[in-house]
Amino acid sequence: MRPVPEPPPMSTRALLACLVLAAAASLFLWQTVWLYPFRLLVTLMHESGHALAAWAVGSHVSSVTISPATGGLTYHSLTGSLWRELLIASGGYVGSSLAGALLLVAAGRMRSGRALLWGLVVWMVGVAVLWVPLLPPDPGAAHALATGSSQSDGLFTLGFIAGMGALLGLVAWKGPVWMRRGLVVWIAALSCLLALQDIKGLFGYGLEVGVSDAHAMAQLTYLPAPFWAAVWMGVSLAAMWLGLRSIVRRRRLAASRGPMMSERLSMR
């Protein structure tokens, strides 16, 4: 029995179509029930970015949770250093943007998308094992009001990871190729565009004023929150552009090598 050949890489047109749909959804449908599971997934990516940044600068991460209201909290030990706190505060948006860009680069090369979906499952399980306790610290009245967080968020986060992990695993195992590919690009684009939500919140759409990472950065640096939101938006768009540029360059190189390879084969 012959093995089933792997499909060719995702076409540039299909890739761009997925990106345009994800961008439109991020702008106009972010608060709808249809995107609710993906909002939670991107929030988990965001909080993982904070946790990884804290770990990288030597801070101890005690918990990472997301809430049913799609907010998130990451608790870490204080570093006593302004620049380290700035890195940790920026880790959410920068980390999710970089993760999205890497997923885009991988999406441009993927054949079926199965390995990338399983990779996302492994990441979620790793977050659950390392940083999600059953009973996280009490968020306090201020954080509870701002993010909708509570001490039951540990159980909620573990339940979400189990459910979303099972869904992604099922799609990776049994889903058709177009679904696996489209899901990877969709998640990558939403992760890159998360900073859009902060900018929308600063102008009265979506997030409430005073609860975003941009406002936390403003308190640390005395630079206005819109400045940091714009910086993170620039990082997100730059990450997406670099990811797409890598895909286009790789495909142009492959196309230019194609005729040369065929000429060599004909000469032989």
- Per-residue pLDDT tens digits for 91-126: 998 888 888 888 888 877 777 889 999 999 999 999
Banded model confidence at residue 263, pLDDT cuts 50, 70, 90:
very low
What pLDDT is stored for residue 266 in this prediction? 43
Q: Is there a domain that residue 117 lies in? A: yes
**pTM recorded for the entire structure:** 0.84
Mean pLDDT score across all residues of the chain: 82
Would 59 be classed as within a structural domain? yes
Percent of the chain with pLDDT over 90: 33
- Cα dihedral 194, 200, 202, 204 sign: negative
Domain of residue 156 covers 12-248
Residue 260 domain-assigned?
no
What's residue 261's pLDDT?
43
Kindly report, residue by residue over 140-157, the tens digit of the pLDDT: 766 677 677 788 899 999
Residue 113 covered by a domain: yes
pLDDT of residue 198: 64
pLDDT at 166: 97
Closest CA to 190 of 103, 268, 109, 261: 103
Whether residue 143 is contained in a domain is answered as yes
Q: Tell me, yes or no, whether 227 lies in a domain.
A: yes
Across 17-43, average pLDDT: 87
Of the pLDDT bands very low, low, confident and very high (cuts 50, 70, 90), residue 6 is low
> Please, which residues bridge with residue 65 across strands?
73
Q: Is the pLDDT of residue 262 over 60?
A: no
Spatial distance between the Cα atoms of 265 and 260, rounded to a whole number of angstroms: 9
Pair 113, 100: CB distance under 8 Å: no
Structure tokens at 6: 């792997």
Classify residue 185: in a domain, yes or no: yes
Please check the confidence at residue 233 and state whether its pLDDT lies above 90: no
How high is the pLDDT of residue 254? 67
Contacts of 245 (CB under 8 A, 6+ apart): none
Q: What is the pLDDT of residue 202?
A: 57
What burial letters (b/e) apply to 3-14, b meaning 16+ CB within 10 Å?
A: eeeeeebbeeee
Is 268 inside a domain boundary?
Answer: no
Q: What percentage of the chain's residues is helix, strand, coil (to nearest 5)?
A: 70, 5, 25
Q: Mean pLDDT check: name the lowest of 206-220, 237-251, 253-267.
A: 253-267
Number of domains making up the chain:
1
